[in-house]
Chain A
Amino acid sequence: MTTTPTFMDRHHFLLRRLHSLTGIVPIGMFLIAHLTTNSTIVWGAINTRAADPLRAADGVVQVGQAGERLARQVGTFQHEVAYINDMPFLVLIEITLWLSIAFHAVFGVMYARSGRSNTRRYAYQGNWRYTAQRWTGYIGLLFIIYHIGTLRWGWTFLQPNNEPWSHAHASSTLAAALRGHEGAWSIGGVFVAILYFTGVTSLIYHFANGVWTAAITWGLTVSEKAQKRWGYVCAGLGFALMGAGWSALAGFLALDYDAARSIEAALHGTPQESIMVQQDATETPHTPTMHITQANTPLTTEGGDN
């Protein structure tokens, strides 16, 4: 009884609430933005202005074999990527996010390990949600590590296609990373695609359910009725994000690599070859500055025109 309480015990409440908070801000907020951005690979089709830089004098977009629809999709996504990369203090934002994820993950694993799932005896819906919250947390964490590691930190050894993701070719290199090959699927790509599907689904569930439980934890929804109502809202949020996540995944998995490549090249106002040359160069993929500058050129020009 007289043992001095541990750090965890002394700040029990604060840590618990920080854990809950970080899940929503910034992680959850970022998740929403990220999924929205990525789903533009599908929904970008309705963005007519995205293909404008590629429009010939007659108004027809013709880049290699690609039609206007693909140009809009790739164009929008490229624009979003560029926008993010262009944000001020991006490093700070990134570090905050990574620290939040690390905090949420470390404590989350600790908290998850403090319980023993018992869905076998008590197969209630709520109990399944509880258990799923823990499993999706674990899966989500592994997925995030893989996702950031491969696409942000360039752990290409974990990518079947070994090709780093490039900001300048956001859509095409991502599609290649997911499929494990530029064109057709590789065996490894199937696993990557499955991992992505599982990871994205897990994280969305984890977030939506987390928002629901957070409302109870913080005491926003007290009555059973309120909890139920908020449950519908969170389910709505979850399904909307699933729609975004799954469509993004489907969009990239089905992307025509070569066509996207040529669209991206055209957007930069650079012939395809020069990009290829650049890639052959020995610069590390960790330094995105070059790409950003290049990638932004035509778009900023376009922005300047307006």
Chain B
Amino acid sequence: MSNTTTSIAQAGTRTVRFRIKRADGHKKNVRWEEYDVPVTSGSEGSGSANVISCLQHIAANPVTRHGERTTPITYDVGCLEEVCGSCTMLINGHVRQACSCLIDTCAPRDGDVITLEPMTKFPVIRDLWVDRARLFETLKRTSAWVPIDGTYHLGAGPMETPDEQQVRYKLSECMSCGCCLEACPQYLIEEDVENWDSAFVGAAVISQARYFNMHETGASTKKLRLDALSEAGGVSDCGNAQNCVKACPKEIPLTESIAAMGRAVTVHKIKQFFSGQ
């Protein structure tokens, strides 16, 4: 069989060590705990173990490897198939979803260590659970919706070629997980809600602005989005490190979105300069 994930992993049951950064709140009682978790390789067990199934194991047996009883790890989790974006955290230092992190791939040998930390760009609620409210709030700044008249029946929406649809579909797959923001050197933690309006919006939101500007009806409020993106914290705060596109689990062309919005804002501003409005 050509099963790549299982072929690397050691056969039989092995032990994987988890180093987990825990906290009782943002910067409150931050500490590291270690757990040993038995793992069976995917080809033998009832399916591949992943970071979540290991966290579930720890929840059912909350004892550290030194034998101390502790509390189950608190973490955000949802669909477990990488479409909801909940379980985003730092695994061995890199931001990603925990559900799609298969143990057979990231810790194939007995005694391998997996490090889990909460995202650093959002305030920690507890342990690995962070509050990403700012990301959703920022979507409001850029009017990230199609301004329809209401839900009454008014016929079909605008037509769209398959090519356009394919571009928009890709952008629409953004699940607001925050990987692009976590990896971005220009996006910094901002605990003060008052500053959310002027801090950098980040790649996800810029890409969403592009998504709505591409829609025929969405384009009617293009100006609002471009104005927002030209303000402080807008698209020009991007430093072009391009980590976002590398970190995006959905492979959304975020850097293209940033450039496209850069172009749109440039044109918009030049027009505004000469037209006076």
Contacts and interface: CB of A to CB of B under 8 A. Distances in A.
Q: Is there direct touching of A and B in the complex, by C-beta distance under 8 Å?
A: yes
Interface of A: 1, 5, 8-9, 12-13, 16-17, 111, 114-118, 121-122, 124, 126-127, 129-131, 133, 213, 216-224, 227
**Size category, B interface:** 35 or more
B114 to A, nearest CB: 16
B259 A227 contact: yes
A117 B185 contact: yes
B230 A12 contact: yes
B240 A126 contact: yes
Contact of A122 (B183, B198, B262): B183
Interface string B80-117: 00000000001001100000000000000000000000
Nearest to B189: A116
Given A12-B236, A114-B186, A122 B258 contact: no
A126 B186 CA distance: 13
B236 A16 contact: yes
Contacts of B261: 219
A220 B197 CA distance: 28
Cβ-closest 6 pairs across A and B? A219-B263, A130-B241, A126-B242, A16-B236, A219-B262, A13-B230
Contact of A126 (B94, B246, B264, B266): B246
A202 B231 CA distance: 30
Choose among A1, A13, A16, A127 the residue with the greatest number of B CB atoms under 10 Å from its CB. Answer: A13
A221 to B, nearest CB: 6
Given A12-B231, A219-B265, 16 more contacts: A1-B197, A12-B232, A13-B230, A13-B265, A114-B186, A116-B188, A117-B185, A124-B243, A126-B246, A127-B243, A130-B185, A130-B240, A133-B239, A219-B260, A219-B261, A219-B262
Contacts of A121: 90, 93-94, 183
B236 A217 contact: yes
B167 to A, nearest CB: 11
Nearest to A222: B259
Interface in B256-275: 256, 258-267, 269
B256 A222 contact: yes
Contacts of A115: 185-186, 188, 239, 241
Contacts of A224: 253, 255-256
Contacts of A127: 185, 241-243
B194 interface: yes
Interface in B199-225: 200
Contacts of B262: 216-219
18 contacts: A9-B198, A9-B231, A12-B232, A13-B230, A13-B236, A13-B265, A114-B188, A115-B241, A116-B188, A122-B183, A133-B239, A213-B239, A213-B240, A216-B255, A219-B259, A219-B262, A219-B267, A221-B259
Given A12-B232, A12-B234, A219-B263, A126 B241 contact: yes
B9 to A, nearest CB: 25
A222 B94 contact: no
A220 B256 CA distance: 11
Contact of B183 (A5, A118, A131): A118
B243 A122 contact: yes
A227 B261 CA distance: 15
A222 B93 contact: no
B174 interface: no
A12 B94 CA distance: 32
B258 A216 contact: yes
B232 to A, nearest CB: 4
Interface string B237-256: 11111110011000001011
Contacts of B255: 216, 224, 227
Contacts of A131: 185, 241
Contacts of B258: 216
Contacts of B240: 126, 129-130, 213, 216-217
A8 B231 CA distance: 10
A17 B251 CA distance: 29
A78 to B, nearest CB: 41
Given A1-B194, A9-B231, A122-B183, A129 B265 contact: no
Choose among A9, A16, A131 the residue with the greatest number of B CB atoms under 10 Å from its CB. Answer: A16
